[in-house]
Amino acid sequence: MRYQEENYPLPMNENPWVSSKEASEILCVSEGTLQLWREFGYLKAGTHWRSAPDSKSTPWRPEVIYHSRWCKEEMEYWRSQDASVPKLAA
């Protein structure tokens, strides 16, 4: 299993789940690229992203949040396989 907490430690009080905007800043990609990666299956539902538990979100267009460490680890995996990040979104 690629996702190991000890590889990407966070302080106990820091939540790894971040907004789409924060994830795009952390990963240095656009929010549109994150959406494409979800649609293509590079980022898996429940592992890399999920719907935010926000009562203000509409059910047909929920806010998406990302697990920053696991998304970053997935990007590193694809880079190690010689798949450049821009090509993954193309």
Position 9 scores a pLDDT of 52
Domain assignment of residue 52, yes or no: yes
What's residue 10's pLDDT?
47
- What is the number of other CB atoms lying within 10 angstroms of the CB of residue 26? 14
Range of the domain at 34: 15-89
50 assigned to some structural domain: yes
Domain annotation covers residue 53:
yes
4 in any annotated domain: no
In a domain, 9, yes or no: no
Burial class from Cβ neighbours inside 10 Å (0-12, 13-18, 19+) for residue 13 reads exposed
- Examine residue 41 and state whether it is found in any structural domain, yes or no: yes
Per-residue pLDDT 10s for the chain (90 aa) are: 454 455 545 455 578 999 999 999 999 999 999 999 899 888 999 999 998 876 665 666 778 999 999 999 988 888 787 765 555 555
Long-range contacts of 35-43 (CB under 8 A, 24+ apart): 35/64, 36/89, 37/88, 37/89, 38/64, 40/88, 42/74, 42/78, 42/88, 43/71, 43/74
